[in-house]
Structure 1
Amino acid sequence: MARHARPWFAVALALAAGFASAEERANYFNDPFLQLTSGIASCPVPEGPLITETQRREQAHGRIERGTSCFQAGRCRLPNAYLYDKEIIPRVKKAVDFAANFADTSVWAEGQRRWVWLKGCVRSQEQSDALERLVRSIDDVENVINQLTIVPTP
């Protein structure tokens, strides 16, 4: 009888491991994630700043250290670089809206410690480059990570 229980035990262990790895993900650090444009219906919504509780614990110390080192080095006027993000991302949206030449894109912006991740879809490399330059020019933006995908006009 014990020989017949082994396969079921292995299945139960595999299921338990699957449930453990399916840990709930959330935006634990409240990093801003905002849709800037919505002109390409086929563009998949990129994943925002979702992490597991385990990842949150692993990242907490590094985020504190990176956030305050900016202020300590005299590169930030606020005591933590992450404090800028809630101001920067709405300014990115405003700049993109004002530029008015990105209506045929679907772009999201995510902010962490004065860095802006551009995610989503644009129609050309030129449009991607222009969007990156625009965001780099915004006050308090330290870096731009361009993760845009080119989806040519059909």
Structure 2
Amino acid sequence: MVPLARVLVVILAAGSTSLPCHGEEPPTEQRNWFGDPFFQVSAQGPGCPLPRGPFRTAQQRDVQSHNRAERGTTCWLAGTCSRPNAFHYDQDIALAFRAQAARFPALFKGTALWVTVQGRIVFVEGCVTRAATVAALEDFTWTVPDVGHVIVRVRVGAKGEVPYPVLAAASGSDAGRRR
């Protein structure tokens, strides 16, 4: 027979997982939990929604944790990178991207773009005025040292939906929805 005190502890422990503890973030607050680089490169396109970038709820962070740990060490184990974790490249990639972008301002004319770097993957998201800019952005991003993959998700033109998740309003009620 299980003592009643042990049953109560199990019930309380099980019930506490759905309620935030004192000092925990509300489940809808979005934060950059892993410190991934996220920055705006250009702001010449009015009305372009802010990408969600690396911002996630605490629950989404927990879901991503295992995947990030596994994905981070895969390139090192495969011998395709010299650092023990792919995420260790991200700050250097972000700095190099910004430096190169400053040298090529014509590429970013008429755009509103943000960059997220996660595990050597560079996401370029936002809005551009010309379709030709999409391929140019991808080619440009591949010139940044240590980039492992490039994903360009942009809206061409001033109207229509964007092809990336947007950062939800402060309430967090529509986190991850596309607009």
**Separation of aligned partners in 2, 1:48 and 1:63:** 15
Could you say which residue in structure 2 is the equivalent of 1:33? 38
Could you say which residue in structure 1 is the equivalent of 2:153?
Answer: 147
1:46 and 1:61 map into 2 onto residues whose CA distance is 24
1:113 aligns with 2:139: no
Cα drift, residue 129 of structure 1:
1.0
Q: Which has the higher helix share?
A: 1
Q: Distance in 1 between matches of 2:90 and 2:117?
A: 5
Shift, 1:59, TM fit: 1.4
Uncovered stretches (5+) of structure 1, i.e. residues with no partner: 1-20
Offset, 1:22: 5.2
In the other structure, the counterpart of 1:138 is 144
Question: What is the identity, as a one-letter code, of the residue corresponding to 1:147?
Answer: R
- Which residue is equivalent to 2:57? 52
Shift of 1:105: 0.9
Of the three residues 121, 127, 134, the one matched with 1:128 is: 134
Give the superposition deviation at 1:52.
1.4
Tell me the distance in 2 between the aligned counterparts of 1:151 and 1:97: 23
How many residue pairs are counted as aligned between the two chains? Answer: 132
TM-score, reference length from structure 1 = 0.80
RMSD (CA atoms): 1.5
Tell me how far apart the structure 2 counterparts of residues 90 and 104 of structure 1 sit (CA, whole Å).
22
- Matched-pair contact (CA < 8 Å) for 2:75–2:81: yes
1-side partners of 2:28 and 2:52: how far apart?
16
Identity %: 36
TM-score, scaled relative to structure 2: 0.69
After TM superposition, give the deviation of residue 28 of structure 1 in Å. 0.6
